[in-house]
Copies of this chain bind each other. A is one copy, B any other.
Amino acid sequence: MTIVNRYPGVRIGLDIGGTKIAGIARADDGAILADVRQPTGIGGDAVIAGILDATRALRDQLPGSDIRSIGIGIPGLVDASAGRVLHAVNLGVESLDIAAQVQRALDLQCFVENDVKAAALGAASLRDDNTPIAYLNLGTGVAAGIVIDGRIWRGSRGIAGEIGHLSVDPQGRVCGCGQRGCIETMCGGGALARAWAREVDLPVKDILDAADAGDPTATVLRDDLFRGVAAAVRALVLSVDVESVVIGGGLTALAERLEPGIRTALRADAATSPFLRSLHLDERIEMLPADSPVAAIGAALLGSAPADTTALDKEIVPHG
């Protein structure tokens, strides 16, 4: 009997979120061969156990596969060269040597990356060109990942894309970072929930519903949300000049209700400014469907990606 290697060149990618782990197994040709979804545990041991469980679940779906690597996208400060995450607050992790532990347990090469940066890599891989893009993550916080020439652009100190903390209104709401009017105060899920101040499960959905019903506070917050995303898109294009801004993250559960408002906000700016009009920003955004597995896809790609464009593989501030 001959054992057939049915799945050559498979790479596993896991997106470790605050509530769930989403994993995929990706063939070198881009095909998603298997996926898994499971709850996330809290604390370092639970996170490692979840990674091992999810990997085994993917392996079990692909008997005889040749798994080359496992990549982990995780929120927090990632030292990619060391395969370590720091300050993954939502996961109850202060410091965790993920790569070392996973490699020991599974005998697989393991790569670790900040989840937003991993998602940016994944989003770029789904496009049919090699233009520079940004992935704008609208979640509890707001941050972008930038991909240039198929590689994550970290910048000089690992904070490239940290536009959530760009202040665009000196009279705006106070941000958790200490500034006023940060983009994140306008379109971050956490900031919107604080500003709405109601005990509801889905505050952003509640804001949109209340705005539709004519609530004036909700209408202000909804318009801020749209204008905040528009400001983020403008910032990414006017600075880095990415060709496209791919929008993802938890808020894309509301994609169908957000996308028209974001496009309207971008068009309203263009109507006042010939300069902005020339940039065609409303045509340069792309909204991912809810639960798009770009972070897991990007994590899978970590093992096959060309070297980073910057020597520095550490980040010194957290992504949201």
Contacts and interface: CB of A to CB of B under 8 A. Distances in A.
A269 interface: yes
Interface in A266-304: 269, 272-276, 278-279
A142 to B, nearest CB: 11
Instruction: Count identical subunits in the complex.
Output: 2
A240 B160 contact: yes
A279 B159 CA distance: 9
A165 B235 CA distance: 9
A157 interface: yes
A130 to B, nearest CB: 9
A269 to B, nearest CB: 7
Interface stretch (A46-54, A63-71, A169-177): A169-177
Nearest to A234: B166
Given A235-B166, A278-B317, A272 B178 contact: yes
B156 A242 contact: yes
Of A156, A178, A241, A309, chain B has the most CB atoms within 10 Å of the CB of: A241
Contacts of A161: 239, 241
Contact of A179 (B235, B236, B276, B309): B276
A82 interface: no
A41 interface: no
A106 interface: no
A282 B240 CA distance: 22
A154 interface: yes
Nearest to A165: B275
Contact of A178 (B153, B155, B231, B276): B276
A238 B179 contact: no
Contacts of A206: none
Interface string A218-234: 00000000000001001
Contacts of A275: 165, 177-179, 317
A215 interface: no
Contacts of A175: 273
A148 interface: yes
A169 B169 contact: yes
Given A155-B240, A243-B156, A273-B179, A317 B279 contact: yes
A307 interface: no
Contacts of A42: none
A239 B235 contact: yes
Nearest to A180: B272
Contacts of A159: 237-238, 241, 279
Given A157-B279, A162-B238, 19 more contacts: A132-B310, A155-B240, A157-B241, A157-B243, A159-B279, A161-B239, A163-B238, A163-B239, A165-B273, A167-B168, A168-B168, A169-B170, A175-B273, A177-B273, A177-B276, A178-B273, A178-B274, A178-B275, A236-B239
14 contacts: A132-B156, A132-B310, A153-B240, A156-B243, A157-B279, A160-B241, A165-B275, A167-B168, A171-B171, A178-B273, A178-B275, A179-B276, A235-B235, A236-B239
